[in-house]
Amino acid sequence: MTKVLQIKDLCKTYVVEKRQNNVLKNVSFDVDDGEMVGIMGPSGSGKSTLLYSVSGMDRATSGQVLLEGKDITTLSEKELASVRLDDMGFIFQQMFMMKNLTIMDNILLPAIECSKSAETRKDKVARCEELMRKLGIIEIAGNDINEVSGGQLQRACICRSMVNNPKILFADEPTGALNRQSSAEVMDEICKLNQEGTTVLMVTHDAKVASRCSRVLYIADGNIRSEYRTPEGLSDRDRERALNNWLLELGW
């Protein structure tokens, strides 16, 4: 299996009022091509810091992050910004979009800025429309962001994250701001993308969401304490129950 991500001895330290806070301590793990990996842990354990450090949104203090064998921790800010735009997709709990643009234009913007594509604008618009049809939101293409529901807006964020055909999709609590029905619908779409070959690394506090991942990493006190592989052939309810039992054993 090809490894999309290889994390080696990753550390992240913050200094606040001359006091050193070691948020990540020699974290190491791999993510295979096509995997969907969840990251769970108690509040303050370093989940989001790990995701941000791995994706290059925040600089690690030390260690390596290899994206298809290339260490992105050695890149300049400009090079790193290009990698994030061209090779990574991002979904956040807070659905950040530009208020002065329509839903379609928000989705289209990363494609227009993409440096690796020689496509025409017409081709990029067609790809955006295809993604929006796929996620069932083509009818809101011309709407402003304050004219749609939270579930629709998060699906638009998924479209935006996928518009440049990223090598990996990073998700930080992608269902955290949604009600149960919208959460299930958004997870259905993320799972479909994963089944079609998109690699996903996702932070979540929700066992129901995490149970849909093929593997879950448990982080506590800045390091990976345990790893869970989801058994095949279980119903959704049994997958969630099995994961909850594992979490309880870890003191969740």
For 43, the 3-state DSSP assignment is coil
Average pLDDT over residues 54-61: 94
% of the chain at pLDDT higher than 90: 77
Range of the domain at 23: 3-249
**Chain mean pLDDT for the chain:** 92
Cβ pair 153, 137 in contact under 8 A: no
CA 172 to chain centre: 6
For 247, the 3-state DSSP assignment is helix
Locate the DSSP E strands across the chain.
Answer: 3-16, 19-32, 36-40, 62-67, 70-71, 88-92, 168-172, 199-203, 215-220, 223-229
Assigned token pair, 13: 């330290």
Average pLDDT over residues 14-34: 91
Q: Which pLDDT band holds residue 41 (cuts at 50, 70, 90)?
A: very high
Assigned token pair, 133: 């049809």
Count of domains forming the chain: 1
CA distance 148 to 110: 21
Cβ pair 171, 91 in contact under 8 A: yes
CA distance 60 to 56: 8
Assigned token pair, 53: 């450090």
Provide the pLDDT for residue 178.
84
Provide the pLDDT for residue 95.
78
Q: Flag whether pLDDT at 84 surpasses 90.
A: yes
Backbone angles phi, psi at 185, to 5 degrees: -65, -40
CA distance 32 to 199: 8
Beta bridge pairs of residue 3: 32
Q: Which residue has the tokens 């095949």?
A: 232
Cβ pair 32, 192 in contact under 8 A: no
Average pLDDT over residues 2-15: 94
CATH code at position 56: 3.40.50.300
Length of the chain: 252
pLDDT, tens digit (0-9, with 9 covering 90-100), for 110-158: 999 886 667 788 999 999 999 999 999 999 999 999 999 999 999 999 9
CA distance 116 to 86: 7
